[in-house]
Amino acid sequence: MAVNVVAPMPGTISEILVEVGDQVKADEELVILEAMKMENPITAPVTGTVKEIKVAEEDKVDTNQVLVVLE
């Protein structure tokens, strides 16, 4: 079952820490979201495999926008 990892707030993607096919553990950092001049790590809610990365570095994102899809 696919799990969508979403942005908790609007901001800019400053760094993508994973690639498609990577195995990740729950609470592992996936993406760094810069918002309000702070870097906010976005972590995996579950253990799984990165199926899709829906954003690129420097992309501006909105609240609840899908960033990464885990399987």
> pLDDT (tens digit, 9 = 90+) per residue, 33-56?
999 899 999 999 999 999 999 999
pTM score, two decimals? 0.95
Look at residue 29 in the predicted model and tell me its pLDDT. Answer: 98
Band of pLDDT at residue 1, cut at 50, 70 and 90: confident
Query: Architecture of 3-70 per CATH?
Result: Beta Barrel (2.40)
Q: Where are the domains of the chain?
A: 3-70
b/e per residue 13-37 (b: at least 16 CB within 10 A): beebebeeebebeeeeebbbbebee
Look at residue 4 in the predicted model and tell me its pLDDT. Answer: 98
Look at residue 24 in the predicted model and tell me its pLDDT. Answer: 98
Look at residue 28 in the predicted model and tell me its pLDDT. Answer: 98
The β-bridge relationship of strands 66-70 and 3-6 is antiparallel
Tell me what the mean pLDDT of segment 14-41 comes to.
Answer: 97
